[in-house]
Structure 1
Amino acid sequence: MATNAWFRVYPPEPDENLDQMRTNPGTKNMPRRNSAPITYFYLMFSISLLKKIVKETNRYANQVIQKKIREHTYHASSRLRLWTKLGKLTLAELKGFLATIFNMGIVRKPTIPMYWVKRSSQQTIWFRKIFSRNRFQLILRFFHLVDNRKTPQRNSDHYNPAAWFKPIVDHANMQFKRYYTPNRELSIDESLVGTKARTVMTQNIPTKAHKFGIKLWMLVEATSGYIIHFLPYRGKRYDPVPANDTQGSHIVKKLMTEADLFHKNYHVFCDNFFTSIPLVRHLKTLRTYFTGTLRANRQMPESLRNPQLRENESLFIRQREIMCVAYKERQNRTTVRFVTSAVKASTPAHGHKPVVSTVYSKYMGGFDLNDMMSGIYDDKRKTKTMWKRLAINIFHRMVLKAYILYTKNTDGKLLSRLEFIQSVIDALAAEQIENRQHRDRNVPAANRPQRIEKLERGKQKNCIVCSRFNQRRRASTKCGKCNKGIHGMCFNQHVCEE
C-alpha cells in the first residue's frame, strides 16, 4: 500500500500518548506569592510604558497648541487654554486616567459628560474627585503612543495603518509571554473590536456581535483564555497572503512563529477558516499537533467530501499520522468534518459522537472564554479615532491577563475579577485624588466659588476668566459668590477674589 494513500480505519485505534512538551507550562518571573493586585497590574503596565505614554501625550498636546497659535485659532475661550493653565500631563494623572477608563467599564453611563453631572439622581462623586470633566476630555483627546512627525502619513509608500497603536501591541505581546508559558492546548481565532471608523482596517463580519470593527488574530491558551500572542489585521493591501497559501494557514504559521512555540509539541485547535490538510502536514514537520474542522470546499479525499452517512454515524480515514473524520449527528444536520494529527479513531463507550468532536468542543472554547471575559468590563465607548478605541480595548485585555496571573500566584481565597479591578482602580487613583485635594486645600474656603447663576434676561458681563486674554468674552451667567461674570466652562478655573 502506498504510504501517501488514504485508507479507512475503525475505532478503537490503539491509544498513544503525545510526545512530551519541551517547556514547563505555568507562571514565571512572578512577584512573591499573595502580592497585592496592583503588583500584577504593573507586570503588564510597566513604568517605562507609562512614561512613554506621558511623553508622547505631552508632545502631541504641544504640537496641537502650537499649530493653533500659528493658525491664529487659539481662541481666548478655547478649552485648550486649560491644558496650558494646569500644565503637562504627569505620571500620577496618567494613572488616574487609566483608573477612570477602567471604572467607566464598571459604572456604565451613556456619555462621558454624564460622569460629571451634579444632579443628585445621577451624580457619581468619585469621577469629580479625580478629574474635572474638561481635564479628562483633554487627556483623552491628546492621548498618544507615538510621535506623529515620525509616523509615515497616508500618501507615503511606508504608510502603516497600525502605526499609531503598534507600541501597545508590541508591549502587550512581550509581557504576555514574559510571565506565562501556556499549557499544551492552544486555540486560534479572530476577535472583532467594534467600530465603524472609516479606515482601511475596518472589517465587516456579519456573524460577530458588532458586525463592523478591527479584526485581531489571537493565539490563546485553550483552558484559561490567556492570550499568548495577537496581531491586528491591516487589510489585504498591507497584510497580503503568500502565493499558494490560504489566509488562515498563513495566520496560524505567523502566530506560532512569532510566539516561538514551534518544535515544542503544542496542540493547536482552529475552526474551518484556518484548517487545511496541507497545514496539518506542515505543522507535523514542526513538531506541532493540530485539530480543526474542515470546510467542504478544501482539499480532502473524495470519500470524506461526499460521505453517505446515517444518523449518529462516523467515517474515519487515515494517512499516516493524519486522520480525517466525518460525522453526522442527525439526518437534517450538515455533516461535520474534522482533521487531526493528535486524536485517534475512537468513540465513547456510551454514545456515538467521535472523541475528536468532544476534544475539539472542549478546547476551542478557550477563545470564546477570552472574548467573553474581555468584554464584561469594557464599556465599548465610541471614539472619533479608531486606534484609541483599539488601544483601550487592549488595556482591558491586559488587566484581564494580570488577573489570570494573580489567580495562579495566590493562595487561599481569591478576589473576584470585579474586586481585583476595583482594587487596581483604587491604587491607581490614590495619588491623583490626593494631589487634587492638596491643590484645593491651598485655596482658602472663603475664596472657593460655590455656584453659578444666570443673569437677568438680556444682561451680560465680561467673563472673569477668559476675558483676561486681551479680548472681551461676554457671559450670561455669574459667580453666585462674588457676582463676577463667568462662563460655565470656565467655572472650575475661577477663584473668588477677596
Structure 2
Amino acid sequence: MEIKINVFLFHSNSYAKHIIRSTRAVTKRDSRVTLWKPLTIRELKLFLSIVFNMGLIRKSSIEEYWNSTMASQASNWFKRTISRNRFQNILRFLYVSDHSKNFPRDHPGYDPASRFRPLLNFMNRQFGRFLVPEKEICVDETLVASKGHNIMRQYIPSKAGKFGIKFWMLCESATGYILQMTVYRGRNFDPVPSGELQGTQVVTSLLSSANLLNKCYHVFCDRTLRKNRPMPNVIKSADPAPNNAVYMRKGKVLCMAYRDADGKRPVRMLSTYLPAQELRSGKPKIVHVYNKNMGGVDTTDSVMKAYSGQRKNRKTWKKVLLHLYHRILHNAYILYTKNTADTPIKSRVRFIQDVVESLSDTVTINVIPARARPHDQRRNIHVGVKLLSGRKEKDCCVCSRRSQAGGRRRSRTACSFCGKGLHRCCIQFHYNCHEY
C-alpha cells in the first residue's frame, strides 16, 4: 500500500511540474504556484486530515478555515497543520494518474474517468481483502452530485443532487460496506452488450470483479421487473386488492405482483430463493426481505452526506477524487465496528476525529512555545511532541480523565521532554512538565 501511495505522490509532483512548466510565461511572479515544493507522504497525510476535518467543521469557503482577522472565526488547528497556500496548492495539483496518458477527447484512447480510475481500481482491490461479506448483498446506483460540464454527467431525478457522476456499487446489505464500485461513463463509453440488459451486465460484472459470482450469495437489485419487461400476462395485468398479492412460479423463479394500499400502483418482484409466503401482517415475505436488505447503498449515502464536506469544484474529476477518499474512510469505520473490542464502540464522528488526529500527528510536530509564568524564566523553553514508537498510545496528561465515564483520551504522541502522553492541541495547557 505504501508503494501505491508513493506512485500517487509521483503523479502529483509530475503533474505540478508539467503545469508550472507549461504556464510559466503567463504565471505572475508572486503567484502561489511558484511556491510549489514536491509533495511528501507527510504532507499528503496532513492534507487528508484537513479534508476529513472539513467534513466535521463546516465553513462557507476553504479560505475561512484560515481566517485570522476575527477572533470569533479563528480555527487555529488548520493554521498549525498546513498553511492555506500550501493546502490550496496540494488541492490544485493532487493527481493519481499519469497525466501523459490522459488523452484528449478526440483521441481514440480517451477515457473520461482516467484521472481518478487508478484510485478507484486501488480501492476495489483493497476492499475485498479485509471483509468476507454476509450472505445478503445489494447492488444499486449512487451519484456524486455535480453540475460541472462533463461527458459522464447523468441525470437521475430520484437523487437529491439530480446531476452528477453515476457509480454502481456492490455493498453488504447489513452494514453498507462497499465491496466494489464502478463508474458509469455513458452509453458511448459503456455500451450494453447485445442481447443483455444493463442491469444484468452491471450485476454480473460487479460480482465477478468481487469474486462473489456463483458463491451462493443473496443479491438484491432494484427495478429488475418493470411493466414493459417480458413476464407472464397474469402478473403484468394483475390488479390485486390492497394488501393482497398474486404469485406465479416456474422452477426456482417466483414472480409476484403486490399492492400495498389503496391508491398505490402494484409492485412486481422476482426471487429465486424466497417462497410464496405471507407474514402475520399480511405483507409478502419477499417484500419484507427486499425492504430489509436493499437499503445498503442508500444508508451509506445518507451517512456520508453528513460528514463528507463536499464543495463546488470547477473540475468534476477532482470532486470525484475527494469523494473516493471519503468512501475509503467510511469503509474503514465499518471495519472498525466489526473488529474492535472497544466498549462502547466509538461513534462515527469520534472515529473521524481520531483519524484526523492520527493523520496530523504522524510526524514530530514543530515545537510551540509553552505558556510562561512570570516567576520562572525557565518556562520560556519550547515544548513539543514526538510520535510514540510502533502503534503505542498513552493517556493525554492534559485532557484524559479516567475517573469520568468516557473521559479517557489516548494519544499517539508524547511530550518531547517529560515523555507523558500529550495531544498536539493540548501543548499550551501542559504546565506540569518536569523541564519547567
Pairwise mapping of residues 193-204 of structure 1 onto structure 2 (< 5 A)?
193-204=144-155
Pairwise mapping of residues 83-162 of structure 1 onto structure 2 (< 5 A)?
83=36, 87-118=37-68, 119-162=70-113
Q: Is the 8 A contact 2:11 2:99 kept in 1?
A: no
Structure 1 pair 246/215, CA: closer, same or farther in 2 (3 Å)?
A: same
**Paired amino acid for 1:337:** R
**Paired amino acid for 2:361:** A
**Paired amino acid for 2:176:** G
Whole-angstrom distance in 2 between the partners of 1:302 and 1:436: 77
Whole-angstrom distance in 2 between the partners of 1:73 and 1:311: 70
Match of 1:66 in 2: 21
Whole-angstrom distance in 1 between the partners of 2:180 and 2:93: 28
Matched, 1:298 2:248: no
Q: Is the 8 A contact 1:130 1:433 kept in 2?
A: no
Whole-angstrom distance in 2 between the partners of 1:363 and 1:245: 25
CA-based RMSD of the aligned residues comes to 1.6
Matched, 1:345 2:280: no
Whole-angstrom distance in 1 between the partners of 2:121 and 2:366: 32
Taking structure 2 as the reference length, the TM-score comes to 0.82
Match of 1:421 in 2: 352
Match of 2:255 in 1: 324
Q: Is the 8 A contact 2:154 2:165 kept in 1?
A: yes
**Paired amino acid for 2:175:** S
Aligned equivalent of 1:404, options 312, 334, 338: 334
Whole-angstrom distance in 2 between the partners of 1:395 and 1:212: 21
Structure 1: give runs of 5+ residues left out of the alignment. 1-45, 276-293, 439-444, 446-498
Aligned equivalent of 1:189, options 130, 140, 150: 140
**Paired amino acid for 1:384:** R
Q: Give the drift of 1:436.
A: 8.1
**Paired amino acid for 1:75:** K
**Paired amino acid for 1:82:** L
How many positions carry a matched residue from both structures? Answer: 368
Structure 1 pair 356/431, CA: closer, same or farther in 2 (3 Å)?
A: closer
Rg comparison, structure with higher value: 1
Q: Is the 8 A contact 1:93 1:432 kept in 2?
A: no
Q: Is the 8 A contact 2:66 2:79 kept in 1?
A: yes
Structure 1 pair 152/437, CA: closer, same or farther in 2 (3 Å)?
A: farther
Match of 1:365 in 2: 295
Structure 2: give runs of 5+ residues left out of the alignment. 370-379, 381-436
Q: Give the drift of 1:55.
A: 1.2
Deviations 1:193-243 (A, max 9, x none): 011111110111111000110000001011110011010001111000111
SS at match of 2:139: strand
Q: Is the 8 A contact 1:99 1:425 kept in 2?
A: yes
Pairwise mapping of residues 389-400 of structure 1 onto structure 2 (< 5 A)?
389-400=319-330
SS at match of 2:361: helix
Pairwise mapping of residues 72-87 of structure 1 onto structure 2 (< 5 A)?
72-83=25-36, 87=37
Match of 2:206 in 1: 255
Whole-angstrom distance in 2 between the partners of 1:330 and 1:147: 55
Taking structure 1 as the reference length, the TM-score comes to 0.72
Match of 2:318 in 1: 388
Whole-angstrom distance in 2 between the partners of 1:181 and 1:196: 37
Q: Give the drift of 1:49.
A: 2.9
Identity %: 39
Structure 1 pair 171/437, CA: closer, same or farther in 2 (3 Å)?
A: farther
Q: Is the 8 A contact 1:188 1:217 kept in 2?
A: yes
Whole-angstrom distance in 1 between the partners of 2:237 and 2:179: 37
Q: Is the 8 A contact 1:219 1:228 kept in 2?
A: yes
